[in-house]
């Protein structure tokens, strides 16, 4: 059994004048949300033995804040192929994970992460919440009935958690400063 946790980067700042989208930083709300998600992951006993992340600035800053809340910094494998990757590209990365890793955290971008969850999981209430919206700084955790990552296939995972920042603190939801 393998566990795959996906984290969408936290809310970024559109006010920051950067030349490339890749360099866009987090805004204050995004920093708060990422730190809160980190605290929640720690409190709920989430543990990871492999982290794969996009090297975009907003993902790097999201992980810095998550680790601050989590109380432990885990070193990710930075992979530029994750930057704005499609679900099929992300699935290729999942299938190439080291088999020694049982619980992987992938940190990246939408719509790829949302589409990957929808492609991998079976129908259910949590999946319907993902279909509705996969907000920034949201965590989706799936269990996969496989021994090797290369065996991961569509519609085989069970979505066991879908945690949005606003579920933990309503001020981190939409329509609030």
Is 39 known to sit in a ligand binding site?
Answer: no
Within 10 Å of residue 164's Cβ, how many Cβ atoms?
20
Cis peptide before 154 (omega within 30 of 0): no
- What are the Cα distances from residue 107, in Å, to 18, 34, 141, 177? 22, 12, 12, 25
Contact residues for 45 (Cβ-Cβ < 8 A; gap 6+): none
Residues annotated in the binding site for substrate, as ranges? 58
Residues annotated in the binding site, as ranges? 58
């Amino acid at each position: 059994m393998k566990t795959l946790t996906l984290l969408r980067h936290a809310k970024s700042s559109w006010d920051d004048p950067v030349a490339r989208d890749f360099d866009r930083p987090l805004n204050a709300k995004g920093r708060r949300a990422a730190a809160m998600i980190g605290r929640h992951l720690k409190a709920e006993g989430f543990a990871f033995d492999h982290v794969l992340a996009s090297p975009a600035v907003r993902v790097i800053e999201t992980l810095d804040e998550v680790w601050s809340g989590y109380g432990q910094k885990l070193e990710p494998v930075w992979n530029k192929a994750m930057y704005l990757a499609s679900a099929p590209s992300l699935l290729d990365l999942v299938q190439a994970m080291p088999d020694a890793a049982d619980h992987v955290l992938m940190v990246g971008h939408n719509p790829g992460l949302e589409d990957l969850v929808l492609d991998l999981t079976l129908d259910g209430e949590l999946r319907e919440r993902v279909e509705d919206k996969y907000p920034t700084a949201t965590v989706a955790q799936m269990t996969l009935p496989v021994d090797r990552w290369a065996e991961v296939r569509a519609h085989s995972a069970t979505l066991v958690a879908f945690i949005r920042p606003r579920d933990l603190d309503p001020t981190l939801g939409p329509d609030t400063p």
